[in-house]
Amino acid sequence: MIDVLFRGARVWVVIALFVVSACSSTTYVYNRLDFLLPWYMDDYVDLDAEQEAYLDELLVPFLAWHRAQELPVYLTALNNIEDSLDSPLTAEIVGTLFTNFESAWLRLQSEGLTQLLDLGARLSDEQIAAFLEALWEQQREFEEEYLERDEEEFFKDNDDNTLDTFQDYLGKLSDDQRQWVHESSRGLLRSDQVWLQERALWLTQLATLLEREPGWQQRVRAAISVRDDTVSPDYQRVYEHNMDAIYELIAQVLNARSERQSRYLKDKLTDIREDLETLIAQGKTDTAAQSDEPSNNRP
């Protein structure tokens, strides 16, 4: 369940701040989160009808909170990005922008955790066991997918993913920009092994927490709140090295963007802005409509 929250909430940040795909608008996907999230949970736990209805109830205030409180913050973050593009970027500026996104993710984690812990109290022991087994099966799949790569495959995957991301927002890169991406990918430390080690340790801890002894929900919250502080020094070293390299690369590539790439990026940011403004307006409309409902029609 916690892993569902981690991955599900990240999707929310991505949907809110970046266009999900060329063929699907942000508003279309976002407006179906109340469908997508329960469906995603069903990949891990088979909920009965009563549990699914309860999850639907939990999602209503969660979505309302997100639209009212978080989407305006995302809009401010977008303004900060656009303002930053008017002057040469540094790795420090990019890092600050990333910190804003990370803070948004942590707020989502905290808010969503309440709903998912409430649902967790309604699951049977058999459902909890199936949930944990699904997470361990996912762990095994990740290990097979990532750890069996040799060094060359690791660097190529990083290279391809980074190029795709830049081209999504800048269009075609210049030869120099592509070379910088290649060089940066070669400079990254391999992170898959230390990440999977940390994930396995967390799953082991989670299994104990989900025995659901009295006070288990508070202990889950406490464990998550200190999770970043309890990772291994090796994991922290790899993470910090790679993030610093990524910040440097982003600043370098964006500072060298052409006029065509600037227009491409501006159009992307404009699309995101319009999506966010539409979602915020829809949230206000929905709130007003609910407040106008006769009290005897309310649950």
- Asked if residue 184 belongs to a domain, the reply is yes
User: Residue written as tokens 């400079």?
Assistant: 187
DSSP 45-106: ----HHHHHHHHHHHHHHHHHIIIIIHHHHHHHHHHHHHHTTS---HHHHHHHHHHHHHHHH
In the numeric block, the tokens 């340790």 are attached to 201
Structural domain includes residue 83 = yes
Considering its fold, how many domains does the chain have in total? 1
Q: How is residue 228 annotated by DSSP?
A: G
Whether 299 maps to a domain, the answer reads: no
Q: Is residue 296 part of a domain?
A: no
pLDDT at residue 78, rounded to an integer? 85
Token pair for residue 268? 């992307």
Beta bridge partners of 21: 24
Domain encompassing residue 58: 2-289
pLDDT for position 290: 66
Smallest CA-to-CA distance from 111 within 26, 13, 42, 27 is with 13
The verdict on residue 48 lying in a domain is yes
Tell me if 107 is assigned to some domain. yes
The residue type of 194 is V
Q: What is the pLDDT at residue 296?
A: 54
- Residue stretches of the chain with pLDDT short of 70: 1-42, 289-299
Residue 295, domain member (yes or no)? no
> Could you tell me if residue 222 is inside a domain?
yes
Strand extents, DSSP E, the chain: none
- Contact in structure between 1 and 120 (CB atoms under 8 Å): yes
